[in-house]
Amino acid sequence: MHHYETIAEAIKYINDHHTEQPSLDDIAAAVHLSPFHFQRLFKEWAGVTPKKFLQYISLQHAKTLLAKNYTLEDTTFETGLSGTSRLHDMFVNMEAMTPGEYKNGGENLHIKCTFTITQFGMVFIAATDKGVCNIQFTESFENSLAELRAQWPKANITVAESPILKTVKEFFTERNEAVKDLRLHVKATPFQLKVWEALLKIPCGQVSTYGQIADSIQHPKASRAVGSAVGDNPVAYLIPCHRVIRSTGILGEYHWGKERKTAMIGWEASKVIGEKAAI
């Protein structure tokens, strides 16, 4: 679960050399491992072989998902699944901060923060008394803490644990079937809130496009504005902006790195397909 850096390096190599169709030996050599150890490490992390994982991050797989004409309201099948395939909006509740809570640099906010290691790298987590206000992938806890202090200069920010932060950590341990309620407390415009609520409805293992999201919130001509709102998402992974791709099937960029987005989409596909096969 904690081999993300090696996995990301392998994904970058695959993306950079996809036209050459690199072999297992090629990829293993690029990350300085023997083919045997790389295959074992990769399967430990993803649950599938590198070859199978490549199918889940291919352009053809993305186009297949989009060709299903999936809509954000079409969630019946997913609600019957447990574990990683459960819909985010079944257990994530989002509340927008009031103007009084974030005016004057957040002087009325009490924020606690911590970090945890996930299958996609280290994450910085911050929460008010009402819910999670920030999750970001990071290489440095100190840098992320400094960014949070700059964003909320008058807030009371402490490095400490809380029940909300503990729940987020449990979610990232792959024991998220035990997580019954996750509350988010975010600074958002009404439009951003609509977009982020739409993102919560994208099931694990599925993808959507900016245009589909714009249609779902009754703003069919607002794809560009939707893209901006997706990019402004303050809560990485829990608000699954990584599941938004281009209408052509190309995965596109991601605030926390293209390799990480690719890893998330492939990892989720491997988990969901594995669960469906077990039903």
- Which residues are catalytic, by number? 241
Q: Which helix (H) or strand (E) holds 184?
A: strand 182-186
Q: Which helix (H) or strand (E) holds 39?
A: helix 35-46
**Is the distance from CB of 172 to CB of 122 less than 8 angstroms?**
no
For 132, counting Cβ atoms within 10 Å of its Cβ (0-12 exposed, 13-18 middle, 19+ buried), the class is: buried
Q: How far apart are CA 26 and CA 28, in angstroms?
A: 6
Q: How far apart are CA 182 and CA 90, in angstroms?
A: 10
Q: Which helix (H) or strand (E) holds 277?
A: helix 258-278
Q: How far apart are CA 173 and CA 154, in angstroms?
A: 33
Q: How far apart are CA 138 and CA 120, in angstroms?
A: 10
Cα dihedral sign, 142-161-193-59 = positive
Q: Map tokens 């594995």 to a residue.
A: 274
Q: Determine the distance from the C-alpha atom of residue 239 to the mean position of all C-alpha atoms in its chain, rounded to a whole number.
A: 7
- The DSSP code sequence of 99-145 is HHHHGGGTTT-EEEEEEEEETTEEEEEEE-SSSEEEEEE-S-HHHHH
